Chain A
């Protein structure tokens, strides 16, 4: 393991920003977001976690899948795959795990999503270890350590005078070739965060939770009473990935009509999410929709794709205006004799 002084890290980021799209935590009018930056001067270094996760670098909130051009009787389809390499700096272990969760669906399960695959292939993740758990963080419950290097390409940990550098993948190694003359002479003293990483989890064994008996629990209706059916929780979540696809007309000149097929984020909390042709909505109540959110994360998704679709980042807890708290839900489902709530 080696270390990099902070100034050298800044130089490295500047060089990366020159040739690739560098995405880093940036203050956007008082809101901390992962956004493209042109130099390391725009990067915010001290933060717990940005309001939104890194997922929109891979599945943008709105993405054009293809363009349709109609001239006279001729129809042309133009495929639009993302070009260009991107580097994301300052990725927290929870967000990095979020990408692994999305990989299980978009890459590891047929059919592979070409848009996601292209972006994933063209993107390198530079992780930044957390100093401490934020007030709403519960990543340790999900088995993620504060300096967990498993899901990033390069992991940086703050040490005296700079950052300890841990090369995780070949992609990360290639990226570091662009950093010149870095390296501290001293062996970095990496702070031990194991005590934090084993901090009292919300629930001791997440995988052992027995969800099906809770399906008809009246708890969901009670919990959902204050739910607004907005989409904040899904949009800030690093592991939520539902989308809707629609064809929309683009501004175009006479006789030369253009349309685009776009896919946009969607959320199971929304009223129309589950509506089907003919107008029937099999999930009409807020309780059913909220139940789906948690069943999806901890039961459906692990069954179908493997990973638990939650990374313990706590964003939904921070952002929910009505204080619907995923850790309260886990505690409820984890309590002994919960099935007595069955109707």
Chain B
């Protein structure tokens, strides 16, 4: 009979003692469980759980104190917030949700401990061998190509971009504002867009009032320029005045500013936000000399047409055609079986070359050293095994939960066309469902970094 390997992370204060109680009472439970004693269920990070599965576990059981009884007051609240979302993410990536369980066992509940372990072992055994670990062990798994989910463009009916060319008008406004800000010394740099010699639109950094003629606005201004704020604003030596820059943002980018403000990456007064009304950006922007054409799928779905934070606003709320809030691809992926999804993501991550462009372009990926680029290979190795790349992409998606504003830069820059944004959209949906939080609508931190608001009292 198939005997799954199960790892249990038990809080030392309640659940581990609960397991002792079960032992003292001579209660029987399956020997599939290998117990790791941890100081608190809040210590069991999502990375740890993913690593456990990668290393061959076929089920992970996390047990902590009941809500309200945490030795550290709030540790189990953190676990209660993190794990259900992690479960959704791993389910989306092809893990059967039955293989991960979070529950509460107090020191005196030996019978409850035995019952939970029995239930969980049965549930995991019923799932059979795990696709997830087969990928880690380099065993054959049936792959599913991208065409397994419907092409987004056709789902959107090939909606053409509406050409009500505000380009030159907006360009003039941006230049005028930039000249004013630079000549009065309010900012030392304006981050905007320019068109390069090949006709490709690209980021521009303007320092001199005479130089503002480089700045443009067109339908190919796809880059999220807030990603450059960090290095521009951090480069302040102690004792010198804080730097100030101006940045041109679309509505989606402006939400990124709110997230960064909430995370105290810089002060509000350091940034002069030049916000633009947006009718959407066209396909191929940034890579080809385009000015019109099909709307990007993310823009066809977009509900933000005006910036949510700005100092200067350019443009009126645009008349927008029907918002296609279509998520056919997401829905189709969700409708697959876990094994099919595992095969789908395997064939996607397989192409990844670990160039890290998705991470580098992301305004929210602002750790000085990425967790997945540590010299000790603690969470992911240096190589390009599909399991390592899966760890990186899922880990990154998880770190963006409640923070990703959906600018889709990660997907745009990917030379291998990996549909990374599916992960981000899935998590945004789950976070909104669980916590009512939408990233960047206001300068509010992600629900994962706040403590105790009641919504996490589950399961």
Contacts and interface: CB of A to CB of B under 8 A. Distances in A.
Interface string A222-258: 1001101111100110000000101010010000000
B355 A31 contact: no
Given A62-B385, A244-B382, A262-B382, A321 B416 contact: no
A322 interface: yes
Given A31-B351, A61-B353, A318-B287, A230 B417 contact: no
B287 A248 contact: no
Contact of B197 (A28, A225, A231, A328): A328
A264 B383 contact: yes
Given A29-B347, A236-B415, A264 B382 contact: yes
A136 B199 CA distance: 12
Interface stretch (B86-94, B200-208, B292-300): B200-208
A322 B194 CA distance: 11
A265 B356 CA distance: 12
Interface string A299-329: 0000000000000000001110111010010
B246 interface: no
A62 B388 CA distance: 12
Contacts of B373: 272
Contact of A226 (B205, B369, B383, B416): B205
Interface in A250-307: 251, 262, 264-265, 267, 270, 272
Contact of A62 (B55, B137, B205, B384): B384
B345 to A, nearest CB: 12
A232 B287 CA distance: 14
B142 to A, nearest CB: 15
Interface string A323-340: 101001000000000000
B264 interface: no
A9 interface: no
B356 A323 contact: no
Contact of B351 (A29, A226, A272): A29
A323 B202 contact: yes
Given A62-B383, A270-B356, A31 B377 contact: no
Greatest chain B CB density within 10 A among A28, A52, A272 is at A28
B146 interface: yes
Contacts of B196: 323, 325, 328
The number of chain B residues touching the other chain, given as a range, is 35 or more
B286 interface: yes
A82 interface: no
Interface string B38-63: 00000000000000000110000000
B141 to A, nearest CB: 16
A339 B384 CA distance: 43
A322 B360 CA distance: 12
Contact of B202 (A31, A226, A235, A267): A226
Interface in B150-194: none
Contacts of A325: 196-198
A248 B383 contact: yes
A235 B353 contact: yes
Interface string A21-48: 0000000111101000000000000000
A51 interface: yes
Contacts of A267: 355
Given A51-B415, A230-B413, A328-B197, A61 B354 contact: yes
Contacts of B417: 29-31
A126 B317 CA distance: 57
A48 B131 CA distance: 38
Given A31-B417, A251-B55, A230 B383 contact: no
A332 to B, nearest CB: 11
A272 B375 CA distance: 10
A248 B200 contact: no
Nearest to A247: B377
A70 to B, nearest CB: 18
A232 B357 contact: yes
A319 B377 CA distance: 28
A279 to B, nearest CB: 11
Interface of A: 28-31, 33, 51-52, 61-62, 136, 222, 225-226, 228-232, 235-236, 244, 246, 248, 251, 262, 264-265, 267, 270, 272, 317-319, 321-323, 325, 328
Given A30-B417, A231-B357, 17 more contacts: A31-B351, A62-B384, A62-B385, A226-B204, A228-B360, A230-B413, A232-B355, A244-B382, A251-B55, A321-B223, A321-B287, A321-B413, A322-B203, A322-B223, A323-B196, A323-B200, A328-B197
Interface of B: 55-56, 136-137, 145-147, 196-198, 200-205, 223, 227-228, 286-287, 347-348, 351, 353-357, 359-361, 369, 373, 377, 381-385, 409, 412-413, 415-417
| List of 3 A-B pairs having minimum Cβ-Cβ separation, nearest first | A230-B357, A321-B413, A62-B383
24 contacts: A29-B347, A29-B348, A30-B146, A33-B351, A51-B416, A62-B383, A226-B204, A228-B413, A230-B359, A231-B356, A235-B353, A235-B355, A236-B415, A246-B382, A248-B377, A251-B136, A264-B383, A265-B353, A272-B373, A318-B287, A321-B357, A321-B409, A323-B201, A328-B197
